[in-house]
Amino acid sequence: MPILALIFLVTGFWLRLIVLLLFAQPAFAQWSEPPVSAIPDTVIQGGWLFDGFSDERHANPGILIRAGKIAALGVNPEDFSPATTRVIVLDSAETILPGMFDLHAHYNLDLVDEGRVEEVVHNGVLFLANGVTATWSAGEYYPERVIAQRDRIDAGEAIGPRLFASGPYFGAFRCEYSVKVAADECIGWPNDITEAEIRQEVDVWQQAGVVSIKIKQATPEEMRILIDQAHQYGMTVASHLANYNVEYDVDLRAAILMGLDRVEHQLTLGSGGERSAELPEIIELMLENKVYYDANLQMYGGINQRRAYPDDLLWADEAQYFTVYSQELLSERGDPPPESDAKEFAQRERELRLLYEAGGRDLLVVGTDEPVYTLLLPGFAYHRELWAMHHAGLPNAVVLQAATLNGARALGVDDRLGSIEVGKQADLVVVRGNPLQNIKDTRHVNRVFKAGFEYDPQALLKSARGKIGPNGPDDHADWVLHYRALLGDDLPQE
């Protein structure tokens, strides 16, 4: 169909969305994934298995993968014909885990000091190489890039994790750090935004396949409308509630009572201490309302923790995945100031631990919150987060459940992902070592399976070397953030 005819057939918000997708980030050279029908039956024999919900690992009973799913557990490879079945034999030092979820997986990078923009292709490859088979992006500045790559991956035309898109930020943070509080004016989320416009924003992104939205720098009334509209579609809602004046745009207690599904970063502001007045009530409300918590410790303790524990947190040359020019830019920039001082970070660790101890094990999820400002990348940051949660006092089995089954539950996809059970998608990670004893063993990834197809992590890493970022001063256009009007504001008037 000619493009003009297509445009005339499209009305309302879809016009702008299609235009955005047509002019999305240029496609990079990338591999493709085979159709599920082309993947032979596979039996994984040997090694150990952590299923996502137990406190221990068990001897692998034998996993049969067929048509992209876990078809059976407890199989003998001798019962299958070698002509039609591939057999993978693991050794006694290897452990199989469910594919891991990053529930705060930013794909945006600030490389030229002109705002954060999405690079999904190579970042996605690095997530997958690190055993992260599913991500939720927690607010996007160029959501069309994420959606386009999601669709390429789903069509088998590109390589990457499962991309659960979040769409744009819902709130004034669409204008990034030019806003500090919800009351600040933003072209993408104006102060006079109407209830109808808020509901239409949710509508259009739900139709684009967004399953969960992120609220940041919205007013209480805006949040109420957003949660209500999202829940009408069965979408979940997460929020960054604090603003940059170190106060709440929306109080956490009020947000929970509105129906918020996930809270990011912190439960109390500042360094209120273990017995701060509101914390016991907040934890009780979270337990009663099944509100998930994503602490993002590796981001908020990041710089100070990396300086204190370099051997635990810095193990790979992450700089090699940037272009040479980007490496120069980021090296000149150096580290930003720490996100939290020692006292505040200790409070964040304490809140995570207290929620767990109060019975909130099933409400903990893993998210990196690593928008790129330095020579570090979110795929590797995922393992820093697992270590940080362990270091805060959580048992390793609890951390691994947060990384797998809880992530799937929080997105409402635990009927098909998140654990090693018959009938679920065969998203699996094989690591060398026993992460139930040493959480750092999760970073020793030997094999990654997504929907039954196996990837070589080393080949994935090699494919991304030198690819992220501009190649020189004349190559900045795709790496500059432009604030854009509220979806629909520039549509033709009827």
pTM of the model: 0.91
- Give the pLDDT band (50/70/90) at residue 369: very high
Per-residue confidence (pLDDT) for residue 30, from 0 to 100: 46
Q: Does pLDDT of 272 surpass 50?
A: yes
Share of the chain above pLDDT 70, in %: 89
More confident residue, 38 or 55: 55
pLDDT digits (tens, 9 = 90+) for 63-86: 999 999 999 999 998 898 888 899
Q: What is the pLDDT of residues 25-34, one digit of tens each?
A: 333 334 556 6
Among the residue ranges 277-291, 313-327, 408-422, the one predicted with the least confidence is 277-291
Task: Using DSSP bridges, classify how beta strands 428-432 and 117-118 pair: parallel, antiparallel or unpaired.
Answer: unpaired
**Residue 39 confidence (pLDDT):** 80
Give the pLDDT of residue 127. Answer: 98
Whether pLDDT at 300 is above 50: yes
Say what the pLDDT of residue 29 is.
37
pLDDT of residue 271: 55
The CA dihedral of 462, 463, 469, 470, to the nearest 10 degrees, is 110
Q: Could you read off the pLDDT of 97-125 as tens digits, one per residue?
A: 999 999 999 999 999 999 999 999 999 99
Q: Checking DSSP bridges between strand 94-98 and strand 445-450, what pairing results, if any?
A: unpaired
**What's the burial of 246, exposed, middle or buried (CB within 10 Å: 0-12/13-18/19+)?**
exposed
pLDDT top residue among 198 and 272: 198
Q: Is 342 helix (H, G, I), strand (E, B) or coil?
A: helix
pLDDT of residue 494: 34
Average pLDDT over the chain reads 90
